[in-house]
Amino acid sequence: MSDSPEKLSVWCAGEEWCPITTTASLIGKKWHPVIIHRLLDNGPSGFNELKENVDGISSKVLSDSLEDLQEKGLVDREVINEQPFRVNYSLTEHGESLESVITEMAAWGQTYLQEPTEADEPTE
């Protein structure tokens, strides 16, 4: 885990390649940061275990997100049992390397955000 993995080649939206745009394309999806956060926190997890921890996600969206994260090389999927069928989702080296980013996001949220009260509820 300590030896840095080779760099990921990732495309980027704009004309010229930009680290932050590209990073945003990796984790700038609604559920990706949370999924990675849960995997960092709880370690390798099964599908439904992850679904419980990522509060409010549907199986389809979790399935789609995990597939996306696998394609991006951040998450690993391993079948650990056939009967009963069990899989294990874990972070790759790249996925784990995101800890600093995820931690920073969580810390920022802790510091600068608060849970809204009923009074804040948008009446719109």
Partner DNA sequence: CGGCATCCACATGGATACTG
Partner DNA sequence: CAGTATCCATGTGGATGCCG
Contacting positions for DNA (CB under 7 A): 13, 29-31, 46-49, 56-61, 63-67, 77, 84-87, 89
* φ, ψ (nearest 5 deg) of residue 85: -70, 125
Compute CA distances 61 → 8, 32, 45, 46, 68, whole Å.
Answer: 24, 10, 17, 15, 10
Q: Count of CB atoms within 10 A of residue 94's CB?
A: 17
Residue 24 or 80: the one with the smaller Cβ distance to its own copies is: 24
Looking at residues 61 to 120 of the shown chain, list those that interact with its own copies (rule: CB under 8 A): 94, 97-98, 100-102, 104-117, 120
Tell me which of DNA, its own copies, none is bound by residue 112, counting a contact when its beta carbon lies within the kind-specific cut-off of 5 to 8 angstroms. Answer: its own copies
- Among 3, 55, 82, 124, contact with its own copies (rule: CB under 8 A): 55
